[in-house]
Structure 1
Amino acid sequence: MPRGFPRASAIISHAHSLALSAQEGIGEIGAQIGIATGPCHADCAFCAFAFSTTDADDYVMPEDVLRRYVRETTAAGDVSCISLMTINDTEIDVLLDAVRTARAAAPSDVVIAVNTGDRAPEECAELRRAGASRAYHALRLGEGAITWLEPRDRLETVRGFIGAGIEVYAGTEPVYAGVSDREIASNYLGGMQYGFRHGSSSAMVPVGGTRFSRQGVGAVSARRADQISSALLLSTFADREYGRSAITEASTAGSGRCLRSSPGARRGRRIISRRRTRRRACRAQGRGSWNRVTAGSGRRTGRYAVSAR
C-alpha cells in the first residue's frame, strides 16, 4: 500500500502491540563481537569492509581480548547470546578458536552464535562441536548481483548448519531504496521454506565510500522500514517461532567509517590466509583480473565484467 496511506500506520501499530503481547513486554538482549575484519572479497555493495571500499589491514581479535569482552558482556546476567562476527573469507581455524574461547568464557546458559561466511558441511559440524549452537546466515536482497556470493552457496551453508544441529536465524536485508515489495516478501517468506528458525527485516544504513554510496543508492525512511517489518511480522505471526523477531532496529551491518591502514589496525594476530596473495595479484594485474586469480573458474567472469567498478 502507499507509504503514506493511513492503514500503514495501523499496520505498524497493530504489529507493535502484537509483538509486545506475545513476548509479554520482555525482550532478549544479544551482543555482537566483531572478531575478524579486513578487506573482504564478498565485496558487498553496502559494506565498509568490501574489497573495493577499504584497504584496511587484516585483523583478528586476540584471544585474551575476546575472553575479556565475553566476560564483561555477560557479567550482569542479562545477555542471552554472544554472536561472533567475521568477514566472509575468514579462515575456519580462526573462527573455531574464537568459538572455543567464547564458549569457555561465557556462562553455560548463554548461546554462542556465529555470523560468518559460507562454510562446508564438515566445517559446520566442527563449529557445532566447538560450542556454536546458533548462526545468522542470510540470503541477502540482491545476492549475487550486489555481492560476489552465489545464492546457492548461501543456501548450501544453511543446510550445513541445520544438518550439524545449529539453528539458523535469517534476515531480509539490507532493505534499500528501489527494492520491490515482491522481492522483499519473497525473500522473507522463502526463509520458512529453507528452514530458518527466525526471520527478520533490517534496513540498510548508508555508509560513505561504499559502492552503493558512490552509485547514489539511498536508504529507506524509518517509517518505511517500520511498515515493511510490521507487514512481514503480521504475515507470519501465526508461526510465533519464525515471525516473532521480524521487527528489528535498522541494521548496522556494514556501517562504520571506511577504514585505512593504521598502527591500531595492525594489533593482534593476523589472518593467515590466501587473501593477501590474492590482493597483491589483483593489484599487480588490474582490478578485473581478480576473478581469474581467485575463482579458478570462468563461471563468474562474465558477471564480474558486467559489474566491474
Structure 2
Amino acid sequence: MATQEKSSILHKWREQGTTTATEEEITTLLGMSIYEDDFYDLLSISEARSRACYGSRGYVFAQIGINAEPCSKNCAFCSMGKSHYSMDGKWQKDIPQMKQEIENLLVQGIDALFLMTTADFPQEEALQFFAAARSILPNNVNLIANIGDLDIHMAKRLRDSGCDGAYHIRRLREGVDTSIPPEKREASLEALRNAELEIYYCLEPIGPEHTPEELAKELLFARSLHPVAMAAMRRVPVPGTPLAKKGRISARELTKIVAVSNLVVAPSRCMNVHEPMQMPLLAGVNQLYAESGANPRDTHSQTEDGRGINATKSWEILAEGGWFPA
C-alpha cells in the first residue's frame, strides 16, 4: 500500500481511535518499513494512547517458574520441550522456596505475581501453590495463573484459590509449532472468562517467518478477549530448540508490532513488551516482567542466572521511559 494510504490510516487511528480498525488496516501497518516516516508516526500515536490511558503509571509483574521438567506438549520454541529439553537441570520448587522468592520480590516492588508451570504439572498441586502465594501477598498485588489448558471447573477453583486472572493465549501457529490444538486454547480462554478471571494476553512468540496477515488475525482475536494487559513478544532462538535456526526479529520490528498491538487491542491496564528492552517504551510500553525459576526462553533452569532480570532492574528500565510506580 502506498505511503499516502498508510498515512491516511494513521490519521484515522489518531483522530478516531482503533475500535473499528479493520484487518486490512492492521495488516498494512504491520507490513510497513521500520525506516520510513510513518513508523515514527505510529509510535507517537501508540505512546499518546498509553499516556492518555495510564498517565505515568508503570507496572512490574513478576513470574516464578515453579518447575523445570520435560513437557509433552513439545513446543518447538520452548527449552522444556520433551524431545529437545535444553535446560541445564530438572527440578521442582516447594512452597517454602516459593514463599521466600515472593518475599524478596515484594521488597523490590511488584504489582502482580505470575506462577508458571509446565502443561503437565498436576493442577491439583498447582492450586496449593496459588493458595500459599495468596496467603502472603498484599491485596494490591494480583495473583495470576500461567498453567496448562483447563475447563470451567478448574478455572473456578483457580479463582477460589485466590487467583485474580490468568495468562493464557492461542500462540502463533498453535497446533503447528506445538502439539496443542488451537481449539483447546480457545476453550480454556472461554472457561477463564466464564469464571470471571482477568485475561492477560500476548502476541507470541513472534519470529521472522510470521506474516503481517497472521499477526493481524491474532490481534483481532486478542481484541475480542478484552484483556486487562496485552503484550508482544519476539521469539528467542533458544539453542537446541527446533525453531532456533529461524532466528529472531529486530528490536525495531518488535517496537512496530508493540505499537500496533497497543492500539488495536487497547488493554485496560497496561501494555508490555517481552523480553524487557528500552526501545519499545517509545511505543507506550508501561509494564515489564521480572522472572525467576524456569523460563521457556532460557537454557539456565534458574533464569535469574541467565536471561531473567529482577524487579529492581525492571523499574529502572521503566523509569528511563517515564513510567513509575503508583
Question: Which segment drifts farther, 246-255 or 220-229?
Answer: 246-255
Inter-CA distance 194–247: structure 2 relative to 1 (3 Å threshold):
closer
For these two proteins, the number of residue pairs brought into alignment is 252
> 2:24 matched to which residue of 1?
none
Inter-CA distance 27–18: structure 2 relative to 1 (3 Å threshold):
same
Mapped contact 2:134–2:143 kept (Cα < 8 A):
yes
Q: Offset at 1:55?
A: 7.0
Matched AA of 1:6: D
Q: TM-score, normalised by structure 1?
A: 0.76
> 2:270 matched to which residue of 1?
245
> 1:103 matched to which residue of 2?
134
- The answer for unaligned runs of 5 or more in structure 1 is 260-309
Q: Secondary structure at the match of 1:67?
A: helix
Give the fraction of aligned pairs with identical amino acids, expressed as a percent.
24
Structure 2 matches for 1:159-308, cutoff 5 A? 159-213=190-244, 216-237=245-266, 241=268, 245-250=270-275, 254-257=296-299
> 2:283 matched to which residue of 1?
none
Find the aligned partners of 1:235 and 1:88 in 2 and give their Cα distance.
29
- CA deviation profile, 1:75-115 (whole Å, cap 9, x unmatched): 35x31111001111111122111101101121122111111
Q: TM-score, normalised by structure 2?
A: 0.72
Find the aligned partners of 2:162 and 2:234 in 1 and give their Cα distance.
30
Find the aligned partners of 1:232 and 1:163 in 2 and give their Cα distance.
24
> 2:316 matched to which residue of 1?
none
Q: Which has the higher contact order (CA 8 A, sep 6+)?
A: 2
- The answer for unaligned runs of 5 or more in structure 2 is 1-31, 277-290, 302-326
Inter-CA distance 247–67: structure 2 relative to 1 (3 Å threshold):
closer
Inter-CA distance 39–175: structure 2 relative to 1 (3 Å threshold):
same
Mapped contact 2:219–2:264 kept (Cα < 8 A):
no
Find the aligned partners of 1:156 and 1:236 in 2 and give their Cα distance.
20
Mapped contact 1:230–1:247 kept (Cα < 8 A):
no
Mapped contact 1:171–1:188 kept (Cα < 8 A):
no
Q: Secondary structure at the match of 1:79?
A: coil
- The answer to whether structure 1 residue 19 and structure 2 residue 50 are counterparts is yes
Matched AA of 1:249: H
